[in-house]
Structure 1
Amino acid sequence: MVVLPESVYLKYDVIKGNGQSRLLQAVSQAIMTSYPRSEIRADGQVVKINFSDGMKFEILPAFKKTDWYGNWDGTYKYPDTNMGGNWRSTNPKAEQEAMKTKNSSSNGLLLDTCKHLRFVRDNYFSSYHLSGIVIDSFVYHVIGGWRWTEPGSRFSSACGTYENALLEYLNQNSMWGILNLTAPGSGENVSTENSLECLRKVVNYIVR
């Protein structure tokens, strides 16, 4: 996450016709000035950078979200270029704490699953869009009582049943191209419209 001045938000908020997309393009161009030989592209809510050494980063431009009195509770607003463009909210500290707690109770299974889904996305479905917050929120809500019996060892049930639980949850809760998800901890709505196709491909891949 890169926090930008409020003046930048005001500049792009007044633009009609997806100012959020214009903002991501401006951020992409600024990054390209410093890294002209790297692969850089705007993708939904983030700017993706692929370096020649294999390192990959997702840059989320964001702005502090304050009330009328200028008070800030740790929430940020960030651009979403989907569906004509809008602003979404995130509270990283609350989300990180929720992920940390759930990962601990699952003996590390939560983060291991999130990393595995990212690996499959990046290596087999890189031409599709699947945001990190969709992966994290999806696994957080599905994992329930699943856990490693020992950190990093094996599942607490028969091999394959955990992966099938991911697929079953996805099939039962996605309708008309939408999967309703909220971010861990903050409870903010998560945009899934442009990520659902790739998420389905990734989950089906790990089940087979």
Structure 2
Amino acid sequence: MNTLSLYVQRNGEVISADSRSLISKRYCTVTSAMNREFWNITSDRQNSIYVGSYGRGTAIDTSDIDILMSLPESYYNQFNSVYGNGQSRLLQAVRQAILVPYPRSEVRADGQVVKINFSDGMFFEILPAFRNWDGSYRYPDTNMGGNWRSTNPKAEQDAMKNKNISSNGLLFDTCKHLRYVRDNYFRSYHLSGIVIDSFVYQAIGNWRWLSSGESSTSAAGTYERILLDCYNQHFMWGAMPLSAPGSNQQVSTDNSRDCLGKVLRYIAD
């Protein structure tokens, strides 16, 4: 039997102001180092954006802060023309730039990103990328000999922000709550942030938090059961097709489907 505390809470799971301040400080340090190396400027804000869960506004902790760093097109031409995994060499160049301000931190290239492991448990993942004419980005993938992939985080962030406004904050609160349940009750299972956000964005429909003075005719837990019903209807016969909000890029649910079901059943039962 569920308790009220396991239902979605308004303005729940908020990252502290102190943590956000530290994230911002490190973000500026990384951005400045990258701009010095690749753009020959000293700005600690230009050419970088938060991406991932933190960028979409749905993160609940500081274990994984993603930053996209836009680089000059000349570097794409340089590393794309290299024989034998130029993507890996690009990540190594990024790693060397980050080691300048953080020589004592663990900094390593991993697949598509350069990871920074800070001593206090905070992790940054730096994604070097090249801007396309339509606002999307190309980024390196060192796997399978090296290739380039595409992402459009700004479109995703805008779509999430607009839906969150129209739902009076319910979208972000739901995404954060599912992360909270995942992290506290199903930690041994895998459930990615983009699967959570894409599913809730699709399943939320017209549900929203009530405005001041409004009253609801729905019983407590109705919304959570609606989310579970949506999951059951789409996953009963196999994989649920999910696309990222705004960018409409396909989101793989292969490794996250089971845990998503467990989380939704936990908050709805």
Q: TM-score per shorter chain, which class?
A: 0.5 to 0.7
Identity over aligned pairs, percent: 57
CA contact (8 A) 1:167 1:203 kept: yes
The structure whose residues are more often strand, as a share, is 1
Q: 1:181 aligns to what?
A: 242
Q: CA separation of 1:173/1:103 partners in 2, compared to 1, >3 Å: closer, same or farther?
A: same
AA aligned opposite 2:76: E
User: How do 1:5-20 and structure 2 match up within 5 A?
Assistant: 6=76, 10=80
- Pairs within 5 Å for 1:64-103: 64=130, 66=132, 72-78=133-139, 88-103=149-164
3-state SS of the aligned residue for 2:227?
Answer: helix
- How far apart, in 2, do the equivalents of 1:35 and 1:198 lie? 38
Change (3 A) 1:90 1:111: same
Counterpart residue number, 2:261: 200
1:50 to partner: Cα distance: 7.4
- Are residue 169 (structure 1) and residue 235 (structure 2) matched? no
**Corresponding residue to 1:113 among 156, 174, 194:** 174
Of the candidates 122, 138, 153, which is equivalent to residue 199 of structure 2? 138
Determine if the alignment matches structure 1 residue 61 to structure 2 residue 127.
yes
**1:10-48 per-position Cα deviation (integer Å, ceiling 9, x unaligned):** 489965xxx99x79x979x88x9759788x996x97788
Q: Distance in 2 between matches of 1:101 and 1:194?
A: 28
| Gaps in structure 2 of 5+ consecutive residues | 1-66
Please tell me whether the aligned partners of residues 130 and 139 of structure 2 are also in contact (alpha carbons under 8 angstroms): no
Alpha-carbon displacement from aligned partner over 1:35-74 (angstroms, at most 9, x marks no partner)? 9788x996x97788776656565x36252253xxxxx221
TM-score (norm 1): 0.68
For residues 156 and 12 of structure 1, the distance between their equivalents in structure 2, rounded to whole angstroms, comes to: 63
- Aligned equivalents of 2:217, 2:92: Cα separation in 1: 47
With over 3 angstroms needed to count, the CA separation of the structure-2 counterparts of 1:94 and 1:52, relative to structure 1, is same
Once residues 86 and 163 of structure 1 are traced to their aligned partners in structure 2, the CA distance between those partners, rounded to angstroms, is 41
> TM-score scaled to structure 2, two decimals?
0.55
What is residue 208 of structure 2 aligned with on the other side? 147
CA distances 1:105-156 after superposition (whole Å, capped 9, x unpaired)? 11110000011111112222233222211111111111011011137x9977
Aligned AA for 2:151? T
Q: Aligned with 2:137: secondary structure?
A: strand
Output the CA distance in 1 between the equivalents of 2:241 and 2:141. 16
Q: Aligned residue pairs: how many? A: 196
Structure 1 residue runs without a partner (length 5+): 67-71
What RMSD, in angstroms, separates the aligned Cα atoms of the two structures? 4.3
Correspondence 1:2 to 2:64: no
C-alpha contact (below 8 Å) 2:130/2:137 kept by paired residues = yes
Contact 1:146-1:156 within 8 A present in 2 as well? no
